[in-house]
């Protein structure tokens, strides 16, 4: 994949590594990046009028607005600023039918376009799409047999090994055959089971068996999150960092962040369409995309070519 650097001068490697150690150094990220809990109050510049009728501005402390689930409602508490990834395309291979529209609209606010395969493409079609992608999302089918073959996986692995983010979504048994097929090749891990969920969980505290990993870039601004309806359980792995534990104490989502490569392995794809407006889902989705964009590796680089006018169209197979 060809990249072009937008900056006029290049940072030295040492300078880049220093900047990379603090998420706030990246213009794509909000100042709250990496903080799960929003403050109770914040400073805000408010327009006022003096005794003569002249306008002036004053910094005052105001309460942070929250939704009904306790999460800060402003997009200032997402990981990325709105429009930060304008021109970047997420290729979605969706093998289980449901509306992806709400996720697509949320991603659009951060600048991402979605090119979606609604069904199994030919391996060469997938490879062509990946050449213009920022990241790749797989939503597994609910068939016991895989829809993908070894050639599909080969192209996905090549894409991943180049440092581009991969999100692998499965769900309750049997909705993980394709997810496991890809994950075992890329991450040497799999998911199993059929655990009832349909609950909201908070941040995981020390000693808790449920909840979301606090103060990670991925959990920026999320204090409560919906786990999904019935969900799969991710096997323990030295390769993955546990991220979301369900209400039953099972590991629902985990992160891979090694060798400058990133991936997410998730056993609850029902969050993408069921009870979308329940706690934290939209923010979780846009945080995931921003994290998988891997700005810490690629810096101020954009794709040389994109899908241009057809980038939001879907490929139906």
pLDDT digits (tens, 9 = 90+) for 210-266: 999 999 999 999 999 999 999 999 999 999 999 999 999 999 999 999 999 999 999
The per-residue pLDDT for 307 is 52
Residue 49: inside a domain? no
- Of the pLDDT bands very low, low, confident and very high (cuts 50, 70, 90), residue 61 is confident
Average pLDDT, the chain: 88
The per-residue pLDDT for 317 is 56
**Does 51 score more than 90 pLDDT?**
no
Question: What CATH number did the domain enclosing 170 receive?
Answer: 3.40.50.880
pTM for this entry: 0.86
Closest CA to 82 of 289, 316, 307: 289
Residue 55: inside a domain? no
**Does 8 score more than 80 pLDDT?**
no
How many domains, the chain?
A: 1
The per-residue pLDDT for 150 is 98
**Does 13 score more than 70 pLDDT?**
no
Radius of gyration over alpha carbons of the chain, in Å? 20
Range of the domain at 240: 75-310
Residue 305: inside a domain? yes
Task: Kindly report, residue by residue over 127-161, the tens digit of the pLDDT.
Answer: 999 999 999 999 999 999 999 999 999 999 999 99
**Does 76 score more than 60 pLDDT?**
yes
The per-residue pLDDT for 60 is 80
Residue 180: inside a domain? yes
CA distance 187 to 60: 49
Residue 145: inside a domain? yes
Residue 97: inside a domain? yes
Query: For the residues 1-12, what does the mean pLDDT come to?
Result: 32
Query: For the residues 52-57, what does the mean pLDDT come to?
Result: 88
The per-residue pLDDT for 56 is 85
Residue 42: inside a domain? no
- Of the pLDDT bands very low, low, confident and very high (cuts 50, 70, 90), residue 27 is confident
pLDDT over 90 percentage in the chain: 77
Who wins on pLDDT, 59 or 134?
134
Residue 47: inside a domain? no
- Of the pLDDT bands very low, low, confident and very high (cuts 50, 70, 90), residue 302 is low
Task: Kindly report, residue by residue over 83-104, the tens digit of the pLDDT.
Answer: 999 999 999 999 999 999 999 9
């Amino acid at each position: 994949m060809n990249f072009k650097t937008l900056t006029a001068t290049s940072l030295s490697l040492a300078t880049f590594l220093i900047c990379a150690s603090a998420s706030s150094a990246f213009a794509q990220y909000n100042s709250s990046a990496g903080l799960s809990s929003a403050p109770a109050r914040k400073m805000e510049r408010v327009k006022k009028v003096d005794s003569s009728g002249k306008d002036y501005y004053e910094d005052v402390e105001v309460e942070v607005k929250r939704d009904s689930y306790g999460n800060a409602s402003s997009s200032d508490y997402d990981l990325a600023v709105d429009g930060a990834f304008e021109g970047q395309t997420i290729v979605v291979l969706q093998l289980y039918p449901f509306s992806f529209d709400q996720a697509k609209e949320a991603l659009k606010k951060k600048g991402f376009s979605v090119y979606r395969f609604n069904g199994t493409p030919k391996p060469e079609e997938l490879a062509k799409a990946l050449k213009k992608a920022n990241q790749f999302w797989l939503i597994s089918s609910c068939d016991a047999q895989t829809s993908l073959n070894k050639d599909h996986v080969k192209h996905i692995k090549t894409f991943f090994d180049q440092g581009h983010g991969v999100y692998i979504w499965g769900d309750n048994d049997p909705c993980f055959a394709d997810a496991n097929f890809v994950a075992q090749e890329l991450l040497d891990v799999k998911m199993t089971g059929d655990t009832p969920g349909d609950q909201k969980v908070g941040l995981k505290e020390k000693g808790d068996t449920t909840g979301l990993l606090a103060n990670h870039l991925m959990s920026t601004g999320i204090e409560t999150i919906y786990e999904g309806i019935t969900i799969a359980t991710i096997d323990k792995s030295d390769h993955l960092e546990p991220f979301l534990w369900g209400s039953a104490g099972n590991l629902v989502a985990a992160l891979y962040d090694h060798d400058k490569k990133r991936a997410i392995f998730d056993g609850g794809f029902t969050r993408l369409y069921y009870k979308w407006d329940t706690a934290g889902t939209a923010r979780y989705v846009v945080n995931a995309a921003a994290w998988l964009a891997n700005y810490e590796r690629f810096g101020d680089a954009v794709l040389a070519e994109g899908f241009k006018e057809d980038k939001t169209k879907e490929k139906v197979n």
